[in-house]
Amino acid sequence: MFPRMRVGADAALFDMQRMRMVEVQLRARGIADERVLAAMQRVPRHEFALEPYRNQAYEDHPLPIGEGQTISQPYIVASMLEALALRPSHRVLEVGTGSGYVTALLAELSAEVISMERHASLADAARQLLAEMGYQNVRVIAGDGSRGFPEAAPFDAITVAAAAPELPRELVAQLAEGGRMIIPVGREDTQQLQLIEKTGGEVQVRLREMCRFVPLVSGSGPSSQ
């Protein structure tokens, strides 16, 4: 799927910056999944940034998006996507829609994305932007993603954009056989990405990069979509 990109006066400059991001920040640092690299080349990160930060959209650091939330740095996003080993047929649950940037990348890489965001204002903005960009395989739901979305489970992949103090068993239970989940685990000052794989009903945990995410907060249940 190739969604419509909005064109602006700085489109050519942003295109060059995005290409450099992919080659220098991602490929040169070990991201090897060509589908992930191609998706990150296609999706315009600057469209998901607030106006004061658009000129920083292709730098390798988080960007504020309001409500105390951020767009994660491109390298961490790419690493998490690569770890999920997504296929075009996969159904994905995203916990923490935020700006919708990672949601768009997931939509590029899979068949269906259910994305949950506890801040209704962020959910509404992301839902509108993703629709404007032409993504039709995404549902954005305002609600408590820490509990997942059991009515649509199981999922082939789950990605969590907030740090849990320990592995959330409710999310693990919603993984399909052979499914993968990537999630930051730990306290505010010490977090590490964990890759969870479910094989033969057993759960395997692999420790990955150290990281820094906002905390996973439990809130209200699903309210809109």
What average pLDDT values come out for the chain (225 residues) when binned by 10 residues?
49 94 98 98 97 96 94 96 98 98 98 97 97 97 95 98 93 97 92 95 93 80 41
Q: What is the pLDDT of residue 189?
A: 83
The answer as to whether 30 is a domain residue is: no
- Which residues 6+ apart lie within 8 Å of 161 measured at CB? 72, 94, 95, 96, 98, 102, 213
In angstroms, the CA 192 to CA 117 distance is 22
Active site residues: 72
Q: What is the pLDDT of residue 3?
A: 44
Q: What CATH number does the domain containing 92 carry?
A: 3.40.50.150
Q: What is the pLDDT of residue 10?
A: 80
The answer as to whether 133 is a domain residue is: yes
Q: What is the pLDDT of residue 66?
A: 94
The answer as to whether 34 is a domain residue is: no
- Please state the pTM of the whole predicted model: 0.92
The answer as to whether 21 is a domain residue is: no
| Residue type present at position 193 | L
Count of domains forming the chain? 1
Which residue range is the domain that position 189 belongs to? 61-211
User: What angle in degrees, to the nearest 10, is found between the helix axes of 34-42 and 101-109?
Assistant: 130
Q: pLDDT tens digit string along 11-46?
A: 899 999 999 999 999 999 999 999 999 999 999 999
Q: Which tokens in the block code for residue 203?
A: 């759960």
The answer as to whether 11 is a domain residue is: no
In angstroms, the CA 213 to CA 172 distance is 20
